[in-house]
Amino acid sequence: MTPVVARELAIPLDGTRLGAALAVPEGAEAVVLFAHGSGSGRHSPRNTRVARHFHARGLGTLLFDLLTTAEAREDAELRSYRFDIAFLAERLIIATGWLRRQAGIPSRFGYFGASTGASAALVAAAELPAHVSAVVSRGGRPDLAGRALSRVEAPTLLIVGGLDYDVLELNERALRELRCVKELAVVPGATHLFEEPGTLDEAARLAADWFARHCTGPERHASDDRPSAEQRIRPTH
């Protein structure tokens, strides 16, 4: 497969800009927007690796900075923004609106969030039900999405490391609050950052499968895929 080259772009924002990297394989039917956790950004090696998995499945990606350079400096010193979920969700909504206005971009979108970025992705998805086809959380804190969880309509996959015990419990609780098509996948041997050999690639494979199922092919409605059970918890192998 020919490598997909990302274009460095800038998302306008109230007199300033958010750095972004957009990569869209030929024939892509959807673009996945990444919402990173604290201390990360569009050049995150982990997210770049995951993006390559998505490209191999014919999915476009938008990796962008949720914070401006000045905000990132302030957050590193004072932790001003990393837990402001409403603020981060608004940035994701702005990025989605900007992407929708770009020429030649697929009209179906997914959200891939890590850490607090996952809660921002869920809040944004609850606000944009007509535009977000699927959500995936990797090692995320969906519990921080609060009441927005019950309003999410997009099919949602929660991926958690099997050794990330506290976060796994929080994800199990959040799963019960979700009213959409939902699944919890546990990656054995993985801790919070999926640094163990093979675990990040497994998480990326699970996420790519989810987006390919819900963001490509014939348009689906939530009721088309809703499982008969309230929830499904699936360990991976």
Residue 31 lies in a domain: yes
What integer pLDDT is reported at residue 20 of this predicted model?
A: 95
Q: Is 42 exposed, middle or buried (0-12, 13-18, 19+ CB in 10 A)?
A: buried
Residue 123 lies in a domain: yes
Residue type (1 letter), 185:
A
Domains contained in the chain, number: 1
What integer pLDDT is reported at residue 37 of this predicted model?
A: 77
Residue 60 lies in a domain: yes
What integer pLDDT is reported at residue 225 of this predicted model?
A: 52
Q: What is the pLDDT of residues 195-235, one digit of tens each?
A: 999 999 999 999 999 999 999 987 765 545 554 334 555 66
Containing structural domain, residue 114: 7-235
* Beta strands 16-23 and 60-64, pairing class: antiparallel
Report the interhelical angle of 85-100 vs 116-127 (nearest 10°): 60
Distance CA 174, CA 141 (A): 9
Which value, to the nearest 10 degrees, does the dihedral of the CA atoms of residues 180, 112, 51, 167 take?
A: -100
Residue 87 lies in a domain: yes
Two structure tokens written together for 114: 């890590």
Two structure tokens written together for 124: 């944004």
Residue 35 lies in a domain: yes
Query: In 3-state terms, the chain is what percent helix, strand and coil (to 5)?
Result: 40, 25, 35
Q: Whole-model pTM?
A: 0.92
Distance CA 194, CA 187 (A): 9
Report the interhelical angle of 199-215 vs 45-56 (nearest 10°): 50
DSSP string, 59-72: -EEEEE-SS-HHHH
Phi, psi of 42 (to 5 degrees): -70, -15
Residue 119's CATH number: 3.40.50.1820
Q: In sequence order, which residues have a C-beta less than 8 Å from that of residue 207 and are 6 or more positions away?
A: 50, 53, 54, 112, 136, 138, 157, 159
Distance CA 142, CA 44 (A): 21
Low-confidence stretches of the chain (pLDDT < 50) are 223, 227-230
Residues in the chain: 237
Residue 2 lies in a domain: no
